[in-house]
C-alpha cells in the first residue's frame, strides 16, 4: 500500500528557501552538566542516584531510567519523586535514542537472502514465494530450477528447501499451513492474517497479525500499520500506525520505510515544517537504498527541486542499482521468462510472501 503523495509544488519552496540535505551527518547530543541530574559524582568518579544523590555501593544498586538511559535511581520511590524534574529531558533524550535506531541504514531488506542460492531476495513478493510446509521464503529462480530437476530426473516433487513432498490436494496444503500456525511460526501467522484480511475477516486478521508482529515479523508490523492508518477493522490511529511502520522500517522493510517518508513529507508540506521534510527525505533515501522503486523516483524529484544534494543523490542511485544487480541471476531470469510465456512452475506448497 502506497500512501497518497502531495505534490512538491505545495511546499512553497520560494517561501522556505532551498534545503540541501546531508543525510550522513549525525546530530550532536547534548549532555547534562548537572552532576546530580546525570547521576555522576565527579569527586569520586562514581555514579549516584539522580534524586537523593546516594552513591552506588555494594549494598546500593542503581538502575538506569528505562526510557532515556541517561540517569540512574536507587529505588522506584526516588524515580517517581524525580519524575517531574526529569520528564522533559527524558522525553527529549528518548526521542533522540529512537531516532538513532530509526535512521540507521539496514544492511539489507527484512527478507535477507534466498537460503538456497544465497543471493538477496527480491523485495517484490511476487518473486519470492513462501513454502507452506516450512514457511521458508525462496526465490523464483530456485523454485523454477527445482521443478526442472524433478521433471528431468522423474523424481517426486518436493519442497526446494526442506524436501517435504508437495501436497496433492488443497486440503493437504491447508493442513501444512495450519501446522506452521500452531507452531507459532511468525511468517505463517502473518500469511493467515493477510488471507483473513483479503476475505474481509478483519477481526481474525488483526489477531494473527498482532501475534506475528509480537514475534518480530517485519511484514506483520507493516500490515498492522496499514490497518491502523486506514482504519481497516480497527479504529483509525495515526500514532499506532506510525509506530508499527517504524518497527517494520527498523527491521528493513522498504515499503514501510517509504510510507513513513510520505507521512512525514505530507505533514511537513501542510505545516511548512522544514524539519519534517528533512526526516522524510532520510526515510525515502533509506528506502531507495533497499531497492524500492517508488522511493528512488521520489529521491530524483527531491534532487530536481534542490532538496537533496548532488552527492547524496549519486550515492543513493549507486546503492539502489547495486541492490537490484545483486538480486539478478540466470536462474531468476529464466524463471521470469517462463512466467512471461505463461508457464506455471509454482505449486500448492508455495504462495507469495
Q: If you write DSSP's letter for every residue of 114-158 in order, what string do you get?
A: -TTT-SBPPSSGGGSEEETTTTEE--HHHHHHHHHHHHHHTPPPB
> What is the model's pLDDT at position 46?
74
Cβ(212)–Cβ(186) under 8 Å? Answer: yes
The 10 Å CB-count burial string (b at 16+, else e) for 7-37 is: ebeebeeeeeeebebebeeeeeeeeeeeebb
Q: What is the CA radius of gyration of the chain?
A: 25
Integer Cα distance of 76 and 150 in angstroms: 64
Per-residue confidence (pLDDT) for residue 345, from 0 to 100: 56
- The SS3 assignment for 350 reads strand
Strands (DSSP E) contained in the chain are 40-41, 46-47, 63-64, 72-73, 129-131, 136-137, 350-352
DSSP classification of residue 93: H
pTM of the model: 0.80
Helix-helix angle 274-289:310-326, to 10 degrees:
30
CB 109 within 8 A of CB 328: no
Q: Long-range contacts: 310-314, Cβ < 8 Å, 24+? A: 311/22, 312/21, 312/22, 312/23, 312/24, 312/285
Q: How much is the pLDDT for 155? A: 87
| Tens-level pLDDT at each residue, the chain (353 residues) | 444 444 343 333 333 333 333 344 333 333 333 444 455 443 455 789 999 988 888 788 899 999 998 899 999 999 999 999 999 999 999 999 999 999 999 999 999 999 999 999 999 888 888 888 999 999 999 999 998 888 888 888 899 999 998 887 888 888 998 999 999 999 999 999 999 999 989 999 999 999 999 999 999 999 999 999 999 989 999 999 999 999 999 999 999 999 999 999 999 999 999 889 999 999 999 999 999 999 999 999 989 988 899 999 999 999 999 999 999 999 999 999 988 887 765 543 444 45
Rounded Cα distance, 131 and 68, in Å: 42
Across the strands, what pairs with 73?
63
Closest residue by Cα to residue 138 from 329, 287, 338: 329
**Cell match 533497499: residue?**
290
Residue 12: predicted pLDDT = 38
pLDDT of residue 98: 92
**Residue carrying the nine cell digits 546516594:** 54
Amino acid at each position: 500500500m502506497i500512501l497518497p503523495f502531495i505534490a512538491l509544488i505545495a511546499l512553497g519552496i520560494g517561501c522556505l528557501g532551498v534545503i540541501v540535505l546531508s543525510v550522513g551527518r549525525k546530530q550532536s547530543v547534548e549532555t547534562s552538566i548537572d552532576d546530580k541530574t546525570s547521576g555522576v559524582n565527579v569527586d569520586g568518579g562514581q555514579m549516584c542516584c539522580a534524586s537523593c544523590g546516594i552513591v552506588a555501593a555494594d549494598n546500593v544498586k542503581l538502575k538506569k531510567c528505562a526510557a532515556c538511559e541517561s540517569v540512574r535511581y536507587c529505588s522506584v520511590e526516588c524515580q517517581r519523586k524525580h519524575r517531574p524534574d526529569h520528564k522533559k529531558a527524558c522525553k527529549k533524550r528518548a526521542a533522540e535514542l529512537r531516532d538513532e535506531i530509526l535512521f540507521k541504514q539496514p544492511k539489507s531488506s527484512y527478507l535477507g537472502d534466498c537460503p538456497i542460492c544465497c543471493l538477496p531476495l527480491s523485495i517484490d513478493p511476487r518473486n519470492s514465494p513462501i513454502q507452506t510446509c516450512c514457511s521458508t521464503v525462496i526465490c523464483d529462480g530456485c523454485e523454477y530450477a527445482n521443478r526442472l530437476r524433478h521433471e528431468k530426473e522423474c523424481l517426486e516433487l518436493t519442497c526446494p528447501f526442506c524436501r517435504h513432498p508437495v501436497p496433492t490436494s488443497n486440503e493437504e496444503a491447508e493442513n501444512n499451513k495450519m501446522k506452521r500456525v500452531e507452531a507459532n511460526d511468525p511468517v505463517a501467522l502473518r500469511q493467515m492474517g493477510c488471507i483473513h484480511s483479503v476475505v474481509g475477516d478483519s477481526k481474525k486478521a488483526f489477531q494473527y497479525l498482532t501475534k506475528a508482529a509480537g514475534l518480530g515479523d517485519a511484514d506483520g508490523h507493516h500490515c498492522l500499520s496499514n490497518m491502523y492508518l486506514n482504519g481497516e477493522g480497527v479504529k483509525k490511529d495515526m500514532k499506532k500506525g506510525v509506530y508499527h511502520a517504524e518497527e517494520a522500517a527498523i527491521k528493513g522493510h522498504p515499503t514501510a520505510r517509504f510510507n513513513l517518508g510520505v507521512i512525514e513529507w505530507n505533514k511537513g508540506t501542510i505545516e511548512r515544517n522544514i524539519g519534517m521534510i528533512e526526516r522524510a527525505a532520510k526515510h525515502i533515501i533509506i528506502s531507495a537504498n533497499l531497492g524500492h522503486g517508488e522511493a528512488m523516483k521520489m529521491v530524483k524529484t527531491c534532487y530536481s527541486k534542490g532538496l537533496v544534494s548532488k552527492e547524496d543523490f549519486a550515492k543513493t542511485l549507486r546503492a539502489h542499482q547495486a541492490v537490484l544487480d545483486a538480486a539478478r541471476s540466470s536462474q531468476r531470469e529464466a524463471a521470469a521468462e517462463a512466467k512471461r510465456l505463461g508457464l506455471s512452475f509454482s505449486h500448492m506448497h508455495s504462495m507469495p510472501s
